């Protein structure tokens, strides 16, 4: 436990929440990807279902963990945070926000009358991608605030909008 505390600059007990949440979400992602590939290759409801699932979870978890630790190292100079555990919180916020924006864009395109069955695929996917952008921007700051990273995401948001030529949207 001391090793985790030192590695992630944990100073308070509640800071352990983020490494634990990171591990749990990474395992959940590995499990979800494993089960999706299981159905694709036809191992569902066979004797190989759970051995395949467990081995695939282990491999995916290891690969994703190595990738994210590499990302932490690369981004630690670019994203200035007070403590290293905040990097985990930031990655979790990006993951939740991207997933939520993608999930909400589908029902919103249906709500405005641009459903998959009622319009051309090019129009549907263009509208859906255009809807993802504002949903993502709003939720990025809100979920960042929920995770205690409002200042980081507000600065990130302003910089992103300015680079896109939409700096006039922010006060």
Q: What is the pLDDT of residues 85-108, one digit of tens each?
A: 889 999 999 999 999 999 999 889
Confidence of residue 170 (pLDDT cuts 50, 70, 90): confident
With 0.85 as the threshold, say if the pTM is over it: no
Per-residue pLDDT at 40: 87
Supply the pLDDT for residue 27. Answer: 96
Give pLDDT, residue 167.
Answer: 73
Average pLDDT over residues 77-89: 87
* Secondary structure (H, E, C), the chain: CHHHHHHCCCCCHHHHHHHHHHHHHHHHHHHHHHHHHHHHHCCCCCCCHHHHHHHHHHHHHHHHHHHHHHHHHHHCCCCCCCCCHHHHHHHHHHHHHHHHHHHHHHHHHHHCCCCCCCCCHHHHHHHHHHHHHHHHHHHHHHHHHHCCCHHHHHHHHHHHHHHCCCHHHCC
Give the pLDDT band of residue 80 (cuts 50, 70, 90). confident
29-65: pLDDT as tens digits: 999 999 999 888 888 888 888 899 999 999 999 999 9
Q: What integer best gives the mean pLDDT of the chain?
A: 89
Q: What is the pLDDT of residue 165?
A: 82
Task: Write down the pLDDT at residue 162.
Answer: 86
Can you give the pLDDT at residue 124?
87
């Amino acid at each position: 436990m001391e090793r985790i505390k030192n590695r992630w600059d944990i100073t308070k007990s509640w800071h352990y929440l983020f490494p634990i949440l990171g591990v749990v979400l990474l395992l959940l992602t590995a499990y979800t990807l494993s089960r999706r590939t299981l159905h694709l290759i036809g191992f569902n409801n066979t004797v190989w279902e759970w051995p395949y699932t467990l081995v695939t979870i282990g491999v995916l978890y290891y690969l994703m963990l190595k990738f994210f630790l590499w990302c932490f190292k690369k981004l630690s100079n670019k994203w200035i945070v007070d403590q290293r555990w905040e990097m985990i919180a930031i990655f979790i916020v990006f993951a939740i926000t991207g997933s939520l924006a993608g999930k909400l864009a589908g029902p919103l395109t249906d709500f405005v009358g641009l459903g998959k069955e009622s319009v051309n695929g090019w129009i549907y996917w263009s509208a859906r991608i255009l809807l993802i952008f504002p949903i993502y921007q709003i939720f990025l700051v809100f979920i960042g605030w929920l995770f205690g990273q409002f200042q980081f995401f507000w600065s990130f948001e302003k910089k992103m909008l300015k680079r896109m030529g939409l700096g006039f949207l922010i006060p």
